[in-house]
Amino acid sequence: MIRFSTLFFFSICLSAQVNEDLFNAMETPTEQTSLLPTTMVFTQRFLWGEKGLLRKTNWMPLSIENREKELKIRRKMLLAHQVIGYATLAGMVAQGVLGTQLYKGNYELKDTHEMIGNATTISYFTGAGLSLFAPPPLISRKNEGLSSIKAHKWLATIHFSAMIATNLLAEENKKYHRAASYTLFGSYAAAVLAFKF
């Protein structure tokens, strides 16, 4: 528990620094640049793409002025994603402590474990939604080799799958539930720390 607490507080302290990797695409568009990146996540393309829902409904037509607004919205959404990410990590640490006590036979913590588990699940998927549905950056950067953004995205695939497995296996198979929750915590903590190192 001390290791988890130290890891959590260490990452909080480091988050005070502005993360240039996370927001490096927050430039202001000009007439010479394309208004949309060449590649987008499918959720971004669905909402914010050239033929996306927000364009078709004329709620946010594609223009330089609107792209500037979208980039401000993106920044706020990604900052909220980051803050919620730390709260989710804290919930996962609490779940680990409570889950360990349950495995030792301390069953009076079961309701607390379920309550914190539900809150952690809600915060997890809220944070994921903020990232997936944020407006796209101005340009898509394709860096050769490993970068903090690539590591964060690869780890997100793992912890997203592990979060679903953890919830599905909660009542069915305690052994696999525990394995999925360890995988979830490890990959999630690594994804949070990927931006810091």
pLDDT above 80: residue 72: yes
Asked if 132 and 41 count as a contact pair (C-beta separation under 8 A), the reply is yes
* Residue 178 and residue 171 in contact, taking contact as beta carbons nearer than 8 Å: no
163 lies in some domain: yes
Total count of domains within the chain: 1
pTM: 0.77
Task: Say if 21 falls within a structural domain.
Answer: no
Evaluate whether residue 9 is within a structural domain. Answer: no
Taking only the tens place, the pLDDT of each residue in 18-62 is 343 444 444 444 443 588 998 888 999 999 999 999 999 999 999
Residue 96 covered by a domain: yes
Q: Which two tokens stand for residue 101?
A: 């006590």
Mean pLDDT of 109-116: 93
Q: Which of 36-45, 78-87, 106-115, 135-144 has the lowest mean pLDDT?
A: 135-144
